[in-house]
Amino acid sequence: MEAIPHEDLEPFDPDRPVSKEELTEQVKNYTDYLQMTGDPEEEIKKNVNLLRENLGLAKVDPLQFPDVMAGAAGEFAKLYAEFLEVPEHFLYMAYLTCLGSALSDRLTLNSELKPEPRLFTILLGESADDRKSTALIKIVSFFKETLTREAFSACWGVGSAEGLQVRLRDGKKPEDPKKLLLCFDEFKQFINKCKIDTSVLLPCVNSLFELNLYEAHTKTSHVDIDNAYLSLLAASTVQTYERIWKAAFTDIGFNNRLFLIPGSGEKRFSMPMKIEVEQKKPLKTYLIKILKHVGNGLELDITDKARNLYHDWYMSLENTIHTKRLDTYALRLMLLLAVNELKPEIDTETVEKVIALSDWQLEVRQEFDPIDADTTIAKMEERIRRNLKKGSFTERELRIKLHKAIAQSGVWYFTRAIQNLHKAGDITIEKQGKKRLWRLVE
């Protein structure tokens, strides 16, 4: 189909990735132009529809942050982005992370799952120019200024699980909920601490993503954490993030517990102006309204239409490494996006935004997966099949046969591959005495 020629309209290029906002703006500009020319209404509609079809062929950038920013987080991001060289969506998602930490013990969904609004958010940029740390500092400072220490508590790094235990208990009674936002302006600090041979920091933080307790006892140390509500907010370069993809992290599924927010800042202010107190007041008032809205505890209902919309999305979600725990994040984001706009329930609009964020996160995970996890699992599946063609083996025997491949990729990939094959019906378990043997289904 031919593109509509017009001297004031940007040339149509189907190979150039564009945002949805650009497409919308292009249609609006063209519509305005046609109306100014005085063409008949039917002619205008015809030309605009033709333009929409042309633009529909354009490639929309899959990493473009979706149009979901609103409510308290949206207002905060909009104001601070006018003064700082920080990507607006960095501010938005960091705000939601802090809000989730503050409400982690009081906000949930009317569901047997009882999700908590806690996020493990990583702001991902290429370099220091992307102003990741600036976003962290400004957001955390704002919440500290507005809320009491009991309502919001943040810690800039820990060196061990024992240190995290002490920080969670700091000034609290044993029965009190232990809410904490763990912050790292350089995520590599956390990674380096987790690499220490005797450290249990990684399994501790990993467990606290979904649970509220963790225990680890040795001759020299005792970690006993309960009634804990941990959130994570960190900044990282892409290069540092790639280091996470090691067996120690992937074997326990740490990577798919992270919500990645890639972005790039632009140089605009050599010396940013100060945000006046009066400009911050409406933002602080909005945040306090949210806390009052939640009160001592709020269990949000979801409308039937919204539930059906989420169900359809959930059932259509592919089973890959990149989709792991996306549904967990979807439920948590439902809570946050609803109260962020002071809604009394989770409606269709909220679920639409959550689905847009979740689909976007899937694109992000695939883009920033440096080792192509799905391909690694597929290769491991094929190795398992080939070995089982030779006969039936116990899981231990299979591991011995595949020890080189497991050493290169990690035990997690082997476990995931064998689970996939079993679920698909390609392999099955048969008992021979006390042995449980994996067998290929012919």
Spans of all domains in the chain: 1-61, 71-301, 373-440
Work out the average pLDDT over 281-297: 97
- The predicted pLDDT at position 4 comes to 46
Lowest mean pLDDT among 27-31, 95-99, 346-350, 357-361: 27-31
Give yes or no for residue 3 having a pLDDT over 50: no
CA-closest candidate to residue 182, choices 237, 122, 244: 122
* Torsion angles phi and psi, residue 429, rounded to 5: -105, 135
* Torsion angles phi and psi, residue 235, rounded to 5: -115, 145
- The predicted pLDDT at position 368 comes to 82
- The predicted pLDDT at position 1 comes to 37
User: How far, in Å, CA of 315 to CA of 144, rounded?
Assistant: 40
Task: Look up the CATH number of domain 373-440.
Answer: 1.10.10.10
Could you tell me if 115 and 332 are in contact, meaning their C-beta atoms sit under 8 angstroms apart? yes
User: How far, in Å, CA of 118 to CA of 121, rounded?
Assistant: 9
Give yes or no for residue 12 having a pLDDT over 60: no
CA-closest candidate to residue 334, choices 349, 317, 320, 346: 346
- Both tokens of 296, joined, read 């001592």
DSSP 304-350: HHHHHHHHHHHHH---SGGGTTHHHHHHHHHHHHHHHTT-SSB-HHH
Same fold, 71-301 and 373-440: no
- The predicted pLDDT at position 94 comes to 97
- The predicted pLDDT at position 57 comes to 47
The three-state secondary structure class of 57 is coil
- Both tokens of 12, joined, read 């149509």
Helices (H), 57-179: 71-81, 88-102, 132-146, 161-169
Strand partners, 121: 233, 259
Give yes or no for residue 405 having a pLDDT over 90: no
Q: Which of the following CATH numbers is that of domain 71-301: 2.60.40, 1.10.150, 3.40.50, 3.40.190?
A: 3.40.50
pLDDT tens for residues 95-151? 999 999 999 999 999 999 999 999 999 999 876 555 678 889 999 999 999 999 899
- The predicted pLDDT at position 16 comes to 58
Please compute, for residue 99, the number of CA atoms within 13 A of its CA located in the half-sphere on the CB side.
33
Lowest mean pLDDT among 4-8, 24-28, 44-48: 4-8
Mean pLDDT, the chain, whole residue set: 86
pLDDT tens for residues 411-428? 878 888 898 898 888 999
- The predicted pLDDT at position 288 comes to 97
Give yes or no for residue 357 having a pLDDT over 90: yes
Strand partners, 224: 215
User: How far, in Å, CA of 310 to CA of 162, rounded?
Assistant: 39
Crossing angle, helix 41-56 and helix 20-37, to 10 degrees?
160
Give yes or no for residue 223 having a pLDDT over 50: yes
pLDDT tens for residues 55-98? 554 555 678 899 999 999 999 999 999 998 889 999 999 999 99
- The predicted pLDDT at position 14 comes to 53
pLDDT more than 90, % of the chain: 52
Work out the average pLDDT over 356-363: 95
- Both tokens of 134, joined, read 């600036």
CA-closest candidate to residue 264, choices 95, 87, 122, 138: 87
pLDDT more than 70, % of the chain: 83
Q: How confident is the model at residue 268 (pLDDT cuts 50, 70, 90)?
A: confident
Q: How confident is the model at residue 183 (pLDDT cuts 50, 70, 90)?
A: very high
- The predicted pLDDT at position 2 comes to 43
- Both tokens of 225, joined, read 């954490």
Could you tell me if 143 and 154 are in contact, meaning their C-beta atoms sit under 8 angstroms apart? yes
Could you tell me if 248 and 195 are in contact, meaning their C-beta atoms sit under 8 angstroms apart? yes
For residue 132, CA distances in Å to 84, 98, 245, 270, 406 come to 11, 15, 21, 17, 35
